[in-house]
């Protein structure tokens, strides 16, 4: 029998520069890739916060021409990607720099896919559908949560079908991730909470995923430790640079874990929910998290016990059922502590919506690595519990 240590595993990651001021390396990397003109992808909120101008200045100082594309929605839409790709082609850009949260970064990945492969972004849904190498991607995250700057995922909103779809490929792993905690200082406490919980879910789902292994476990466990110890304090003290750095590091570790171990039912169901109501991804995860953990627990009790220990729960002497209850209560309390105590019902979901949501969740690639096999009724019951 093959042990977990001798099973074949792959681990994909970008080149990472971490620390205050990392963003200023953007010009150097663009030059290294031989590009003299870039498409700078962002969104209106990041533009308003001043980071687009900041990065643009860095690039111009390195004698790199810049074209802006900031028409990106909070959940990037297929048509926005197509418009961005047309702008890239029309202006003769040679690389893509993205600054922002998951939305601009996923949009930038989509733009890269289309500029290299043609067609429509809807054609690339699924796993390993990209054939031509995409332009260099240099990403500067402005949130500590999505880890789009690390991952093999691009999550796109299809407004026609009222759903999000996933593109999973090592082709969309950025070439360089410039992780600068200073760039997260303009996040609101609410966005800090949403993205922080998203990062925690990344770590938990990666650790219990059927694709987990020694190459991802250490990153997932450290991410849980960092986020559980610092997120609540950061939401209460959003200008604290050291707390920003700790949560940013946790987010990075979670990204390295889930990009390679993949995720589970929280994300499959969250993608369906976010596409349906156009809600923030982290909020969707938060509303589903403890219900999916309760559903999955019996399939991987020893893994979930290690999750509980990583977030600071003393498990010595507790039965499996007591550990499960303690972890459930911890997750509920953390969500409330950071202001994310809403339910699906409060957000406008009704029982009549559950079949639609369930159908799309079961079609999401993340469901394939969930530790417990899930059928339509299983997923529907979890949605109903979260109402």
Determine the Cα–Cα distance for residues 54 and 159; give it in Å rounded to an integer.
Answer: 32
Of 268, 290, 271, nearest in space to 197 by CA: 290
Residue 4 has what pLDDT?
A: 66
pLDDT at 365 over 70: yes
Determine the Cα–Cα distance for residues 69 and 101; give it in Å rounded to an integer.
Answer: 15
Determine contact, residues 74/103, Cβ cutoff 8 Å. yes
Q: What is the pLDDT averaged over residues 232-246?
A: 97
Summarised one tens digit per residue, pLDDT across range 122-169 is: 999 999 999 999 999 999 999 999 999 999 999 999 999 988 999 999
Residue 279 has what pLDDT?
A: 85
Determine the Cα–Cα distance for residues 231 and 250; give it in Å rounded to an integer.
Answer: 10
Domains, the chain, in order of start with CATH, read 15-184 (3.40.50.1970), 187-385 (1.20.1090.10)
Residue 3 has what pLDDT?
A: 64
Torsion of CA 364, 378, 205, 113, to 10 degrees: 0
Residue 51 has what pLDDT?
A: 98
Determine contact, residues 382/284, Cβ cutoff 8 Å. no
Q: What is the mean pLDDT of the chain?
A: 96
Determine contact, residues 226/328, Cβ cutoff 8 Å. no
Q: What is the pLDDT averaged over residues 24-53?
A: 97
% pLDDT > 90, the chain: 93
Looking at the chain, which runs of residues are DSSP E strands? 15-18, 37-41, 65-69, 95-100, 126-127, 137-141, 153-158, 163-168, 176-179
Determine the Cα–Cα distance for residues 105 and 80; give it in Å rounded to an integer.
Answer: 12
Summarised one tens digit per residue, pLDDT across range 182-226 is: 999 999 999 999 999 999 999 999 999 999 999 999 999 999 999
Of 267, 294, 283, nearest in space to 344 by CA: 283
User: Residue 342: which pLDDT band, with cuts at 50, 70 and 90?
Assistant: confident
pLDDT at 293 over 70: yes
User: Residue 10: which pLDDT band, with cuts at 50, 70 and 90?
Assistant: confident
Residue 355 has what pLDDT?
A: 97
User: Residue 320: which pLDDT band, with cuts at 50, 70 and 90?
Assistant: very high
For tokens 């905690």, what's the residue?
181
% pLDDT > 70, the chain: 99
Q: What is the pLDDT averaged over residues 89-98?
A: 98
Determine contact, residues 126/83, Cβ cutoff 8 Å. no
Residue 89 has what pLDDT?
A: 98
Determine contact, residues 91/111, Cβ cutoff 8 Å. no
Q: What is the pTM of this model?
A: 0.95
Residue 369 has what pLDDT?
A: 97
Cα–Cα distances in Å, from 230 out to 240, 242, 243? 11, 10, 6
Helix (H, G, I), strand (E, B) or coil at 301: helix
Which residues are within 8 A (CB) of 242 and not within 5 positions of it... i.e. 6 or more apart?
A: none
Residue 163 has what pLDDT?
A: 87
Determine the Cα–Cα distance for residues 290 and 286; give it in Å rounded to an integer.
Answer: 8
Residue 5 has what pLDDT?
A: 72
Q: What is the pLDDT averaged over residues 287-308?
A: 97
Question: How many of the other CB atoms lie within 10 Å of CB of 315?
Answer: 15
Q: What is the pLDDT averaged over residues 96-103?
A: 97
């Amino acid at each position: 029998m093959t042990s977990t240590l001798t099973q074949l595993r792959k681990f994909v990651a970008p080149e990472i520069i971490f620390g205050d001021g990392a963003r200023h390396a953007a010009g150097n990397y663009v030059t290294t890739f031989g590009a003299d003109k870039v498409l700078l992808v962002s969104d209106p909120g990041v533009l308003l916060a001043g980071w687009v101008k900041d990065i643009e200045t860095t690039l111009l100082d390195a004698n790199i021409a810049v074209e802006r594309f900031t028409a990106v929605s909070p959940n990037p839409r297929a048509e926005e990607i197509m418009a961005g790709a047309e702008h890239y082609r029309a202006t003769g850009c040679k690389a893509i720099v993205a600054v922002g949260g998951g939305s601009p970064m996923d949009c930038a990945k989509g733009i890269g896919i289309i500029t290299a492969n043609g067609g429509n972004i809807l054609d690339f849904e699924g796993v390993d559908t990209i054939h031509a190498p995409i332009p260099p991607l240099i990403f500067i995250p402005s949130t500590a949560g999505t880890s789009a700057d690390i991952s093999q995922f691009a999550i796109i909103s299809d407004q026609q079908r009222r759903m999000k779809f996933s593109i999973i490929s090592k082709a969309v792993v950025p070439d360089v991730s410039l992780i600068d905690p200073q760039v997260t200082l303009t996040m609101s406490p609410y966005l800090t909470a949403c993205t922080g919980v998203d990062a925690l879910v990344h770590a938990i789902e990666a650790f219990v995923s059927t694709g987990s292994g020694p190459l991802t476990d250490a990153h997932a466990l450290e991410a849980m430790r960092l986020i559980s110890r610092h997120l609540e304090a950061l939401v209460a003290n959003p200008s604290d640079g050291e707390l920003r750095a700790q949560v940013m590091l946790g987010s990075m570790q979670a990204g390295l874990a889930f990009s390679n171990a993949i995720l589970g039912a929280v994300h499959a169901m969250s993608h369906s929910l976010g596409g349906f109501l156009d809600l923030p991804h982290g909020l969707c995860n938060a509303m589903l998290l403890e219900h999916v953990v309760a559903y999955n627990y019996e399939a991987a009790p020893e893994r979930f016990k290690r999750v509980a220990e990583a977030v600071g729960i003393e498990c010595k002497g507790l039965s499996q059922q007591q550990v499960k209850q303690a972890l459930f209560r911890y997750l509920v309390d953390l969500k409330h502590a950071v202001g994310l105590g809403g339910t699906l019902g409060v957000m406008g979901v009704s029982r009549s919506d559950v079949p639609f949501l369930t159908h799309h969740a079961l079609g999401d690639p993340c469901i394939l690595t969930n530790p417990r096999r899930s059928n339509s009724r299983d997923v529907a019951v979890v949605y109903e519990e979260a109402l």
